[in-house]
Amino acid sequence: MNAAVPMPHNRRPARCPFRPDAGLERLRDDPGLPRVSTSNPQLGQFDAVLVTRYDDVRAALADPRLQAGFAFDRTGPRTVMNQPGILLNYDGPEHTHYRRMLSGAFTVKRVRSLAPAIRRVVEDRLDALEQAGPGADLIETFAGPVPLLVICELLGIPAEDRDGIQRRSAVGTDAANSLEAQLENFAAMAAYMAGLIRRQRDRPGDDILGDLIRGHGSELSDDELIGMGNSILVAGHETVTSMIGLSTLALLRDPDQLALVRDEESLTAGAVEELLRLLTVAPPLVRQADADLDLGGYTVKSGERVLLSTLAAHHGTELVPGEPGRLDVARPPVAHLAFGYGAHQCIGQQLARLELQIALPALLRRLPGLRLAVDFDSVEYRDDALVFGVTRLPVTW
């Protein structure tokens, strides 16, 4: 192993948010598996083995000896990493047990049936964007509301509660917040979800929570349902919001690629896969070895934590020979890891794909003259958020 080195969290170059930080790329291109120092709002400061090359990251995600739920302590204070019902807090048979309960909500058939509702939400928010007029913030008016409205509809959350949901979700994914702030925020999230679950137990709705209560209500405690509901809520809109905003920015920077997404319907699905790979908005994934194991010819010892950088992996030539940093929406899709891999692969990935496939072309077709209302270099990013993205994106047309 190499000596400890500092780890850029999920940072990109200041004026090039579509590629990894140069330090992260150097670590990927060096032989070995370096130890790095990093931090997490729930785990605090810790050392980890950094894994950055595509083949190694994929192998690690598929290895059951690398545990996702290593920090779960049922007796400790409730946090995102310490809440029953959240899939990432379990491994093995327990994880399979909970995942099967949720899988029915995200089947391909059910997700496809949501397309008309997603299109209505997208068209309504495009109306609001046009009404806001040139200079409007795309994140506030379109990229944020679209996935939030969709996931709230799926969870049966009333319209009047959605501003509070968005605010608490933003706090929960800001890695710059202290543990105390995270605990206070999570307590508020849990209290809200507990009230929603009480109402659903009395009268289950035609939504994900209603389905869980009808099918598994006697098996699941309120505490477990709180975890399931909040994990779907946060994961179901923060990443899609970031992807809509950052994808729009990337396309505005490359008019030829933008025109392909706008005009060539046959390229839509592949374009979304390319943007998911290139932008990689999700944070590095943390695991802990429960046994000694070999990874890429190097030993990871039992008890060591492992940091898996899908951002670095996606920008290496193992996955995309030639120019992995170039946006090419006509590129044949590759087996990217934007939704993870293995047992913990994102259960809602098909919903996220569908939202992006509907929202991005619709935006570009409704506003064919869309462009930035500020200089590219003045765009601000959520560098310290667990999910990387654009803070504000003023646009005109």
**Residue 364 reports pLDDT greater than 70:** yes
Alpha helix positions (H), 264-306: 268-279
Q: For strand 371-372 and strand 395-396, is the pairing parallel, antiparallel, or unpaired?
A: antiparallel
Confidence grade of residue 173 (pLDDT, cut at 50, 70, 90) = low
Instruction: Kindly state the percentage of the chain with pLDDT values over 70.
Output: 95
How high is the pLDDT of residue 82?
82
Task: Please state whether 210 falls in left (phi above 0), alpha (psi between -120 and 50) or beta.
Answer: alpha
Is the pLDDT at 380 greater than 70? The verdict is yes
**Nearest-10 Cα torsion for 318, 87, 142, 352:** 50
Q: What's the CA gap between 324 and 18, in Å, rounded?
A: 11
Whether the CB-CB separation of 250 and 18 falls below 8 Å is answered with yes
Q: What is the rounded distance in angstroms from the CA atom of residue 28 to the CA atom of residue 51?
A: 8
Residue 18 phi, psi (nearest 5): -105, 15
Nearest CA to 57 out of 325, 277, 279, 311 is that of: 311
What confidence score (pLDDT) does residue 174 get? 64
Cβ atoms of 281 and 246 within 8 Å: the answer is: yes
Evaluate if pTM is beyond 0.85: yes
* Tokens found for residue 352: 């996220």
Q: What is the pLDDT of residue 226?
A: 93
**Percentage of the chain exceeding pLDDT 90:** 71
What size, in residues, is the chain? 397
Confidence at residue 251, expressed as pLDDT on a 0 to 100 scale: 98
Is pLDDT larger for residue 233 or for residue 79? 233
* Whether 382 contacts 242, CB under 8 Å: yes
Domains of the chain, start order: 5-396 (1.10.630.10)
What's the confidence (pLDDT) of residue 6?
Answer: 45
Q: What is the pLDDT of residue 176?
A: 63
Q: Is there a contact between 288 and 67 (Cβ–Cβ < 8 Å)?
A: yes
For the stretch 31-65, pLDDT in tens is 899 998 888 767 778 999 999 999 999 999 999 99
Mean pLDDT (the chain, rounded): 91
**pLDDT confidence of residue 172:** 63
**CA of 345: how far to CAs of 87, 237, 304, in Å?**
10, 17, 22
User: Which residue stretches of 290-348 are H helix?
Assistant: 310-314
Query: What confidence tens digit (pLDDT) does each residue in 312-355 have?
Result: 999 999 999 989 999 999 999 999 999 999 999 999 999 999 99
Which pLDDT does position 128 carry in this prediction?
Answer: 96
Which residue's structure tokens are 């959520």? 382
Per-residue confidence (pLDDT) for residue 7, from 0 to 100 = 45
- Average pLDDT on 201-220 reads 94
Label residue 73 by pLDDT band (50, 70, 90).
Answer: confident
